[in-house]
Structure 1
Amino acid sequence: MSRPGGPNGRIGVLGRVRAKLSVSAHRLVDVADPSTYRPSPGSIPDAPGVYKFRDATRRVIYVGKAKSLRSRLNSYFADLSGLHPRTRQMVTTAAAVEWTVVGTEVEALQLEYNWIKEFDPRFNVRYRDDKSYPVLAVTVSEEFPRLHVYRGPRKKGVRYFGPYAHAWAIRETLDLLLRVFPARTCSTGVFRRHGQIGRPCLLGYIEKCSAPCVGRVSADEHRAIVEDFCDFLAGRTDGMVRRLEREMAEASGELEFERAARLRDDLGALRRAMEKQAVVLGDGTDADVVAFAHDELEAAVQVFHVRGGRVRGQRGWVIDKAEEMDVPALVDHFLTQFYGEQSDLALAEGEAAPVPREVLVPELPDDAEALGEWLSGLRGSRVALRVPQRGDKRALAETVQRNATEAFQQHKLKRAGDLTARSAALSELQEHLALDTAPLRIECVDISHIAGSDVVASLVVFEDGIARKSEYRRFALREAAEEGDVASIAEVVRRRFSRYLKETAEPDNPTPGIDPETGKPRKFAYPPNLLVVDGAGPQATAAADVLAELGITDVAVVGLAKRLEEVWLPADPDPVILPRTSDALYLLQRVRDEAHRFAIRYHREKRSKRLQVSVLDGVPGLGQSRRTALIKHFGSVRKLKQATVDEIAAVPGVGRRTAETVFAALAVSKGEGESGS
């Protein structure tokens, strides 16, 4: 780690970058004046590198790269009135700046990407999908892979095709292709159930599934079907069509007319599926076509994924611009983050990086040569980064540009005022609660239980009025569980802020709150500006008393009562009534409701686990590991009750005698349940 005060400290480079490094970190200060931490111009090297801005808690809030560190960093300390609004907010939030000198621009690209991924700086451009695009997922890691429509984060051991604009488009395509590739589409529960009863589902009877659940095909034969399906969606269609045509001709020549007719129908299904993927580039080009629409504060990006000349997928993002960025800068930031993330996912799966031969962009960035070299390194062969000038590629680029413009206009119509509303909400909270500053970080605590059992709590975090789910925490309450919600609130606040004091009081750590081994923030390293508790005056007072005991005086506390949506201050006999239509009240409600949802979810998980194994408690010879193995094998106690002694004994680690004991115990509990009903 770098040491404050020295312009020639040494640190290690993250990722694959190997270079001679020099780092400078400057003294942290409490005021938000950039001139107080501005490095002297002569101390900044005139060389390529990557820089980090940190706030007063040593948290990284922005990462950037530059051909000349001296020129770029000096631009941040110019007249504040001339800076981009987000840049102005960033430099006044920051309290220190550091930099790392690297040898080449390619190394700077790699290091910038690694740091953005590691630190998730709040002021960096973040490419979040403007909607959750559906994809076609293939669970290749399972013994019998499954095909299904999926939305959400990527998982290990799954291949994805798309994204598609609509889920119905995937289902139509899948329905057509199941005739040719009859692979499993059912859930794990349905697959196991039909395996137990020995009969396939409807798709098995109408030959749209090869029914591996009942052994019609082996695991290897089913995997071969799935691999052919993946090859078809990956664009290797011509060979498959020729093979079916050849087989159809052979069947006809051998007078097997029924088989020939079935192959003819299969060919028709394949061709109809191919027709849904319009040919846009007749030369069979593999390319990603990128376009942007933007204004001073935001930008929209659209990408068309073209494989084998056909559009195989489309996706889009709308982002807040971290600083003043023109189209070349947007191209630079997007390609680095998008292909870096995609390559990391592919590497985790042991697959090649999904970088096409060509990337078509509206304008080339300043470091186009270095960016092309970096993309070629990810792909393992040359990648052409260029602007299409004429013909089909130019026409397709114009289509993507129209899509980006339309998406940006829709975003503006749908979310007009979002940034203004969030800023207004924070300003209103500051005014109504008499806070020194706007509460940029808000945390909320909620308690969940049923009649005092399985008491749990949630802690959710909002930054700049937006949920930061990676920092959510949950607590299983022990000490105060029997004393009511007030004591439970006090226990959660004590545990959360005791951890905060412990993690920031590290005399040997030059960056308190940052793990010196990983360089990442600890779980409870950052305090909120405002702590919200679900409840009225007693709950708010209990939380404030705990903070006072711990010596924490810079965290405001309020309680939000559900019945009348009143805001209670600690030890105040009367609530603060916010206007029903105010953005401040709406923000508090969203924070409270999110904490409530998160707490209920944890409570249900905890209660479900307890109820599942409680019926097995006390069964002789059945320890925790065997109970877990039984529940995992059968999926639930209900299904375990339906099992025979032989089926129970088939579970690894459960012998015949133990199976008979479990069967007898479950029969007794089942009889008690029936008589009790």
Structure 2
Amino acid sequence: MAETVSWRPKAGEIPTSPGVYRFRDSSQRVLYVGKAKNLRARLSNYFQPLRSLHERTRRMVLSAASVEWTVVSNEFEALQLEFTWIKEFDPPFNVQFKDDKSYPYLAITLQDAVPRVLVTRNRKLAGARYFGPYTKVWAIRETVDQLLKPFPMRSCTDATYARAEQTGRPCLLGDIGKCAAPCVGRISKEDHKAIALDFASFMAGNDSRFVGELTKKMRAASAELDFESAARYRDQLAAMETALSKNAVMLADDVDTDFFGIAHDELAAAVQQFIVRGGRIRGVRSWVVDMELDLELGELVETVVHNAYEDDLVPPREIVVPVLPEDSAELERWLAGVRGKKVSLKTAQRGEKATLALTVATNAKNALVLYKTRRSGDFVARSQALADLQEALGMPDAPLRMECYDASHLGGTNIVASMVVFEDGLPRKDQYRRFSIPDSTDDTESIYQTLMRRLAHLDADDARDADAAASQLETADLGADAADDSAVAPPRRRFAYRPNLLIVDGGQPQVAAAKRALDDSGVTGIALCGIAKRLEELWLPDSDYPVILPRNSDALFMIQRIRDEAHRFAITYQRQRRSKDITSSLAEIPGLGPTRVRELLRHFGSVTRLRAAEVEAIAEVRGIGPTLAAQIHRRLRE
């Protein structure tokens, strides 16, 4: 492999100033746009020896035919220009956003003479004030329906309003008290606009003021024996509280913050945005990011924040992110330009904001799992993935049954391995298997032992299939009566079917170990590959170069999912073994029965903490005295 590409510019030609660079292919299409504080230092990273580059970066550099740059005066201008060009050129190697949702907003047309409240997905209504976005239309409609009791403003269409003006008869909402009916003169347009402004103020987070005012009015009316008015205020107050109760998480009333949570792996990232106004969650937005090149979390945060506020969504005065990007000061300047006021970008360290940030992060993790599960579960996507795998691995047939193996241990102890099965691209958890390995030198030896044990059952399974098939033919020859009386073929034991493809978690060493197991077992006709986690590349036996699947292909998602499932299954079994080991060891101590063992594990929460505990800490456990604590401490150190 060549050291680097032939079209590399000379280092002396590249300025050391801040700027934006663009990689282009032979047809002048922009492949990637990036920014740098020092163009020479940044671009030199792309022109290192090709073998030392990350696989995806190497693919981008090899796809390009030239690089060009534009010098700017400072980092802030570089940030702005990068955002502009990414939006203009849509480069394939930059972060790609997938958000096929059109989120609903609550809008109040304050510029109109008679303002209207409506739920819409149109963000371009002139003079309207927007609240949201929200994830569910029905939820915001229910909120509006509740709030029309204390804020009876117009929610009808222009045609309905015009017809009511002509006929002098209000619509049903006017008759039931959910509209002040300015169309028929029950209230002036000025007073109606005041109601609309109060509605907007309530939605903006000033709800405590309105709740307090209504409470005072209700009590005053009750004191004056005006029970009809008091009942009306009571109903309005109940409607407000019902609307507020839809926001389960409550922060201080002055909190106007957007919280971002990001969960990512080598291929994709899921983003959650919680919109908090007036201390309450007013909206939730989520989307998925496909990553072509490897990005640090800080770089991903920068791109996510820009994407969130590029479509006229006004940022709040504070934004909480998982980590701060390197150029957070420039990003704050850009956000301030969008908002027209200062915006603070920060991370949540403690308190209620940190708690909510953790909730947002948890939602992002769940969203990523759901995205990958749905993508893998789609029939068309699964079929395409299996076909792509067949072509990429040079298999004669599609891998309808895949088995993936992973080994796990803790410091060379409690060595275990897992086997997970995917049939037709879906997991078959009833056919998962786990292996306990008594002794092994390393992961490659563990893989070899595991596959030798699994492959030993192939001949028995195949012979059982042949016997069952012969029995069915004989039964068919005897006729229907004999078929009714014949015994059903015995169910399969241990392993169900012969796999089309074996996958091991690892690179060339693990694949070589698996190939040795196939050869020693005399098994042929089964394809083999390994997946290296860092670069998500597939290794075939006796191959010096990996198979690179397209970054966002369904095939790579399926391979990644089966590898992650094997890893999860192995880790779970390994932890169970560790727990049993400590339980068995403790049970041998005189005076320490199952109840006290459970109490020890419950008190410390984990085996690791129990092993690290001193005698005094162990003696604090209920039912454990100093003498017994010393015995436990000594046994755990042996």
How far is 1:219 from its partner? 3.3
Q: Paired residue for 1:272? A: 242
Q: Paired residue for 2:345? A: 385
Match of 2:372 among 392, 412, 417: 412
How far is 1:156 from its partner? 4.2
How far is 1:318 from its partner? 0.2
Equivalent runs, 1:105-504 vs 2, <5 Å: 105-129=75-99, 131-151=101-121, 154-282=124-252, 284-339=254-309, 341-342=310-311, 345=312, 354-416=314-376
SS in 1 for 2:274: strand
How far is 1:272 from its partner? 1.8
Provide the rounded CA distance (Å) in 1 between the counterparts of 2:364 and 2:218.
Answer: 45
* Equivalent residues, number: 390
Q: Paired residue for 1:469? A: none
Provide the rounded CA distance (Å) in 2 between the counterparts of 1:208 and 1:333.
Answer: 43
Matched-pair contact (CA < 8 Å) for 2:205–2:279: no
Provide the rounded CA distance (Å) in 1 between the counterparts of 2:128 and 2:260.
Answer: 26
How far is 1:204 from its partner? 1.4
Residue segments in structure 2 that go unaligned for 5+ positions in a row:
392-553, 555-638
TM-score where L is the length of structure 1:
0.52
Letter in 2 for 1:98: E
TM-score where L is the length of structure 2:
0.55
Provide the rounded CA distance (Å) in 2 between the counterparts of 1:116 and 1:262.
Answer: 55
Provide the rounded CA distance (Å) in 2 between the counterparts of 1:365 and 1:53.
Answer: 23
How far is 1:414 from its partner? 1.2
Cα 1:183–1:37 change in 2 (3 A) is farther
How far is 1:407 from its partner? 0.5
Letter in 2 for 1:132: S
Q: Paired residue for 2:517? A: none
Letter in 1 for 2:268: E
User: Where in structure 1 do 4 or more consecutive aligned residues deviate above 6 Å?
Assistant: 417-429
Provide the rounded CA distance (Å) in 1 between the counterparts of 2:56 and 2:194.
Answer: 53
Cα 1:228–1:286 change in 2 (3 A) is same
Q: Paired residue for 1:53? A: 23
C-alpha RMSD of matched pairs (Å): 3.4
Matched-pair contact (CA < 8 Å) for 1:181–1:225: yes
Cα deviation per residue 1:435-469 (whole Å; 9 max; x = unaligned)? xxxxxxxxxxxxxxxxxxxxxxxxxxxxxxxxxxx
Q: Paired residue for 1:63? A: 33
How far is 1:37 from its partner? 4.0
Cα 1:153–1:412 change in 2 (3 A) is farther
Provide the rounded CA distance (Å) in 1 between the counterparts of 2:146 and 2:76.
Answer: 45
SS in 2 for 1:35: coil
Matched-pair contact (CA < 8 Å) for 1:280–1:396: no
Letter in 2 for 1:287: T
Provide the rounded CA distance (Å) in 2 between the counterparts of 1:249 and 1:173.
Answer: 25
Letter in 2 for 1:105: E
Cα deviation per residue 1:628-659 (whole Å; 9 max; x = unaligned)? xxxxxxxxxxxxxxxxxxxxxxxxxxxxxxxx
Matched-pair contact (CA < 8 Å) for 2:4–2:49: no
SS in 2 for 1:73: helix
| Segment drifting more, 378-387 vs 234-243 | 378-387
Cα 1:80–1:410 change in 2 (3 A) is farther
Matched-pair contact (CA < 8 Å) for 2:4–2:48: no
Provide the rounded CA distance (Å) in 1 between the counterparts of 2:254 and 2:344.
Answer: 16
SS in 2 for 1:76: coil
How far is 1:226 from its partner? 1.6
Residue segments in structure 1 that go unaligned for 5+ positions in a row:
1-32, 347-353, 430-582, 584-677
How far is 1:67 from its partner? 2.0
Provide the rounded CA distance (Å) in 1 between the counterparts of 2:384 and 2:78.
Answer: 34
Cα deviation per residue 1:166-202 (whole Å; 9 max; x = unaligned)? 2221121111101111122223333334444432221
How far is 1:400 from its partner? 0.7
Letter in 1 for 2:213: R
Letter in 2 for 1:104: N
Matched-pair contact (CA < 8 Å) for 1:86–1:321: no
Provide the rounded CA distance (Å) in 1 between the counterparts of 2:122 and 2:385.
Answer: 29
SS in 2 for 1:359: strand
Larger radius of gyration, structure 1 or 2?
2
Cα 1:47–1:421 change in 2 (3 A) is farther
Provide the rounded CA distance (Å) in 2 between the counterparts of 1:428 and 1:140.
Answer: 59
Letter in 1 for 2:280: R
Provide the rounded CA distance (Å) in 2 between the counterparts of 1:34 and 1:222.
Answer: 70
Provide the rounded CA distance (Å) in 2 between the counterparts of 1:74 and 1:50.
Answer: 14
Cα deviation per residue 1:377-401 (whole Å; 9 max; x = unaligned)? 5445543322222222221111111
Q: Paired residue for 2:430? A: none
Cα 1:259–1:283 change in 2 (3 A) is closer
Matched-pair contact (CA < 8 Å) for 2:5–2:62: no
Cα 1:283–1:124 change in 2 (3 A) is same
